[in-house]
């Protein structure tokens, strides 16, 4: 069964005697990447709450809040098609923003060591907005675990850190990137792309992969070499919003202690901003 509720109070009543809940927060327009998060949760919890809420506080002024795809009926249908075995899905999709934000947030969240890089450079305030909504969902639902995709790697790191400090009882589970047959990372924003643009978008994944290959095929100073190649790549194509190589454990510049690297990029096709990354042990 996948049932829909639109009111926070109803959701609270539905889950009040439940002691083992998985949470999958989404903004809807569900694709296989989201469904994978839900499958993970279903395999580990008798109740999975899937939230579908296009969170206004994480969109900048010139971003796509009003045009962000809203496809609630199709989303619920996709969840109903999942093999639930003995578990249950509760969809929480508030119609009224006030169910999540009864009043405007007065407290800001910031994790400075994980900001001022990658997506935060082009989307100031975005991660505060993400933490605002996650804070409210965690308070409302008190899940045992919450599931996030590795495509939004900086978001995942921020939520892990935020949760470790404010909600240590909630386990944050990371789920690998799901890709289309072409290799393009799945994203609700892929729906904005036509077929030619989808081919263009492969530059993102192909660049990340070739930088990673170059890292392993060079002998010494691989980090410096890759950084030079990144600078060259960006200077040749202004569609890159960022492309960077960082320590995947802390998003700092790689050091002698680094054991895992991330190469992450954001690439713009017309007005559509796509992100992707590759994480690897060294």
The Cβ of residue 150 has, within 10 Å, a number of other Cβ atoms equal to: 18
In DSSP terms, which residues pair with 49 in a beta bridge?
23, 90
Q: Which of 134, 187, 189, 175 has the alpha carbon at shortest distance from 158?
A: 134
Q: Beta strands of the chain (E only): which ranges?
A: 2-5, 21-26, 47-52, 88-92, 145-149, 171-175, 240-247, 260-269, 272-281
| 90: Cα within 13 Å, side-chain hemisphere | 24
| Dihedral over Cα of 193, 157, 89, 10: its sign | negative
45 versus 123: smaller Cβ distance to ligand PAF: 123
133 versus 157: smaller Cβ distance to ligand PAF: 133
152 versus 215: smaller Cβ distance to ligand PAF: 152
Report whether 151 contacts 177 (CB < 8 A).
yes
Is 126 one of the annotated active-site residues of the chain? no
Q: How far is the CB of 217 from ligand PAF (least distance, A)?
A: 34
Beta pairing, strands 240-247 & 260-269:
antiparallel
Q: How far is the CB of 218 from ligand PAF (least distance, A)?
A: 34
Q: How far is the CB of 138 from ligand PAF (least distance, A)?
A: 11
Q: How far is the CB of 42 from ligand PAF (least distance, A)?
A: 18
SS3 21: strand
Which of the following is catalytic: 34, 45, 126, 164?
Answer: 34
Residues that bind ligand PAF (CB under 6 A): 25-27, 55, 58, 130, 133, 152, 155
Report whether 264 contacts 274 (CB < 8 A).
no
Q: How far is the CB of 240 from ligand PAF (least distance, A)?
A: 22
| 17: Cα within 13 Å, side-chain hemisphere | 0
100 versus 245: smaller Cβ distance to ligand PAF: 100
96 versus 231: smaller Cβ distance to ligand PAF: 96
SS3 114: helix
Report the catalytic residues: 34
């Amino acid at each position: 069964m996948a049932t829909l509720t639109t009111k926070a109070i109803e959701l609270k009543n539905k889950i009040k005697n439940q002691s083992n809940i998985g949470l999958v927060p989404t903004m809807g327009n569900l694709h296989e990447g989201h469904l994978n998060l839900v499958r993970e949760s279903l395999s580990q919890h008798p109740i999975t709450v899937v939230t579908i809420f296009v969170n206004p506080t994480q969109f900048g002024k010139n971003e796509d809040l009003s045009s962000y795809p809203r496809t609630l009926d199709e989303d619920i249908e996709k969840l109903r098609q999942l093999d639930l075995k003995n578990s249950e899905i509760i969809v929480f999709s508030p119609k009224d923003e006030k169910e999540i934000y009864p009043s405007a947030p007065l407290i800001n969240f910031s994790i400075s060591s994980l900001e001022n890089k990658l997506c935060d450079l082009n989307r100031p305030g975005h991660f505060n907005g993400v933490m605002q909504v996650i804070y409210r969902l965690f308070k409302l639902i008190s899940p045992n675990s919450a599931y996030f995709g590795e495509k939004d790697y900086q978001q995942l790191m921020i939520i892990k850190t935020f949760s470790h400090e404010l909600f240590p009882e909630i386990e944050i589970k990371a789920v690998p990137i799901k890709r289309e047959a072409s290799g393009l990372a799945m994203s609700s924003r892929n729906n904005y792309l036509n077929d030619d643009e989808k081919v263009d978008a492969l530059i993102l994944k192909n660049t990340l992969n070739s930088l990673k290959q170059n890292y392993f095929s060079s002998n010494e100073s691989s980090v410096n070499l890759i950084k030079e190649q990144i600078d060259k790549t960006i200077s040749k194509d202004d569609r890159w919003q960022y492309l960077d190589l960082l320590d995947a454990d802390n998003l700092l510049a790689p050091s002698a202690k680094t054991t895992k690297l991330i190469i992450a990029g954001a690439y713009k096709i017309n007005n559509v901003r796509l992100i992707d990354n590759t994480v690897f042990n060294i």
